[in-house]
Amino acid sequence: MQFDFEIGDMVKLKKPHPCGSREWEILRVGADFRLKCMGCGHQIMISRKLVEKNAREIRKIP
């Protein structure tokens, strides 16, 4: 499944964060993504390859 990722979009990943949330906000796009957990606010850097592999749905924010 191919998604078009943009800053500000909400992405739902396959596995949940330890806080229980599966939803993340995209803060940075490039070879690596910076994601912010919508449950606890924790921020992570993750490779584009892993995000593309584990993304299940994306919500575009107008």
Would you state the pLDDT for residue 62?
74
**pLDDT (0 to 100) of residue 1:** 63
Give 23-53 as a DSSP string.
EEEEEE-SSEEEEEETTT--EEEEEHHHHHH
CATH class of the 10-59 domain in this structure:
mainly beta
Give the amino acid at 20: G
The enclosing H or E element of 56 equals: strand 55-59
| Per-residue CA distances from 13 to 2, 10, 60 (Å) | 14, 10, 15
pLDDT in tens, the chain (62 residues): 677 899 999 999 999 999 999 999 999 999 999 999 999 999 999 999 999 999 999 999 87
Q: What is the pLDDT of residue 50?
A: 95
Tokens of 11: 């992405």
pLDDT at position 33: 97
Model confidence, pTM: 0.89
